[in-house]
Structure 1
Amino acid sequence: MNINQKNIDSQDEKNPVDLSEMENSCQEEHSLKEVEIFKEKLEKEKDKFLRLFAEFENYKKRIQKERFDLFRSAHKQIIIDLIPILDDFERGLKELKKSKDEALIQGVSLIQEKLIKILKEKGLNKIKIKKGDDFNTDFHEAITQIPATTENLKGKIMEIIESGYILQERVIRHAKVITGK
């Protein structure tokens, strides 16, 4: 043994170092690092889950909206397709009134009223116009113009050719009219 080795050994005897404490402190540091790593991983997975959940909720809302829009569009198209039938009822009733068959007129009128009632429940309303009303491009479509018999009939509706309809506050068919010029 040399002199330096003796000094080290003598110091160890004076200040003995506890190896088990060093090992415990290293293990604690290692455990703390592992806990931090697991916490980070947990936060990442939690964030990933929350994003995925939010994305799924947005998907459900989008699909529900698309389904609603599809039904609304089909509903609207069916009502639009039924409007010519309403026109046919009006024309048919005018012709039936000429024949003066009251039973037939009442039967057709009853069917027409039921159809109108159902369509009103679905949001369809007839545009209310009469001869002499002001021409309004928001609701009317001028088919032609005829000379007005008086000055106050210029720009007014002279004749109603076809009724117009509004479906839930939107014009789906403009009333076709003849205006005075």
Structure 2
Amino acid sequence: MSKKNKVEEMDEVINNTPVEQEENTSEETVVEELSVEEQLQEDLGKEKDKFLRLFAEFENYKKRTSKERMELFKTAGQEVIVSLLPILDDFDRAMKELSKSEDKEMFTGVELIQNKFKETLKVKGLQEITIKQGDAFDAEVHDAITQIPAPNKKLKGKIIDVVEKGFKLGDKIIRHPKVVVGN
């Protein structure tokens, strides 16, 4: 063999050896890259899950606060309306007394004021709870102030008299009607 061939062989051996080592190194790098890539994918999945949970929690918060705000607007004037209920009761008592009077013009004038007052409160969401004698007593709605012996068996456990009217503001009872129940 000539020197030239030997040198070429040596170069070839030298060149092949590092190439093989580089291939081994690159395979290790691929394995490391895959594990790093898998780790990144896993981290990305965790972050997506966190984001979705946070987003859902925020949407629930928005719905809850919106609902609370709507309820607040519905009952914003509740304190004012509750404070006006005794005046409404006084109007009813005054109308009873004025109906006994012979002055029909005064009765008509006060009646107009009372109707205007009632309509204004009605527009603001106030509703009277209608009750009449013989209705069934419901502890959720009615406030029994006393029980008396029922005049007949049909009125046993039923409402005999309404002492004070009850009112609702929207769907919420702001004053329970005070009633007398037969036993």
* Smaller-chain TM-score bracket: 0.5 to 0.7
Q: Does 1:175 align with 2:175?
A: no
Q: Check whether the contact 1:153–1:180 (CA below 8 A) recurs between aligned residues.
A: no
1:135 Cα deviation from its structure 2 partner: 7.2
| Cα deviation code 1:63-83 (max 9, x no counterpart) | 233334444454444433322
| Cα deviation code 1:36-87 (max 9, x no counterpart) | 2221221222122122212222222332333344444544444333221211
- In the other structure, the counterpart of 1:128 is 131
- In the other structure, the counterpart of 1:23 is 25
Residues 30-45 of structure 1 mapped to structure 2, 5 A cutoff = 30-45=32-47
Structure 2: distance between partners of 1:128 and 1:34: 75
Distance change in 2, residues 1:180/1:22 (3 Å) = closer
What amino acid does structure 2 have at the position aligned with 1:115?
F
| Cα deviation code 1:153-180 (max 9, x no counterpart) | 9757666543334553748322344x77
Total equivalences in the alignment: 165
User: With structure 2 as the length reference, what TM-score do the two structures score?
Assistant: 0.63
Structure 1 gap segments, 5+ residues each: 1-8
Q: What SS is found at the alignment partner of 1:128?
A: coil
Q: What SS is found at the alignment partner of 1:129?
A: coil
Structure 1: distance between partners of 2:67 and 2:172: 20
Q: Does 1:103 align with 2:94?
A: no
Structure 1: distance between partners of 2:174 and 2:130: 9
What amino acid does structure 1 have at the position aligned with 2:127?
L
| Cα deviation code 1:96-138 (max 9, x no counterpart) | 33443333322321222233234445151242325xx367364
- In the other structure, the counterpart of 2:93 is 91
Structure 1: distance between partners of 2:160 and 2:41: 81
Distance change in 2, residues 1:166/1:69 (3 Å) = closer
Structure 1: distance between partners of 2:159 and 2:105: 35
| Cα deviation code 1:12-35 (max 9, x no counterpart) | 95xx54334333323322322222
Q: Does 1:141 align with 2:144?
A: yes
Structure 1: distance between partners of 2:94 and 2:173: 28
Q: Check whether the contact 2:160–2:179 (CA below 8 A) recurs between aligned residues.
A: no
- In the other structure, the counterpart of 2:59 is 57
Q: Check whether the contact 2:129–2:177 (CA below 8 A) recurs between aligned residues.
A: no
What amino acid does structure 2 have at the position aligned with 1:136?
F
> Could you tell me the percent identity over the aligned residues?
37
Structure 2: distance between partners of 1:23 and 1:117: 89
- In the other structure, the counterpart of 1:3 is none
Structure 2: distance between partners of 1:62 and 1:142: 38
For residue 68 of structure 2, the aligned residue among 66, 69, 81 is: 66
User: With structure 1 as the length reference, what TM-score do the two structures score?
Assistant: 0.64
Q: What is the CA RMSD across the aligned residues, in angstroms?
A: 3.8
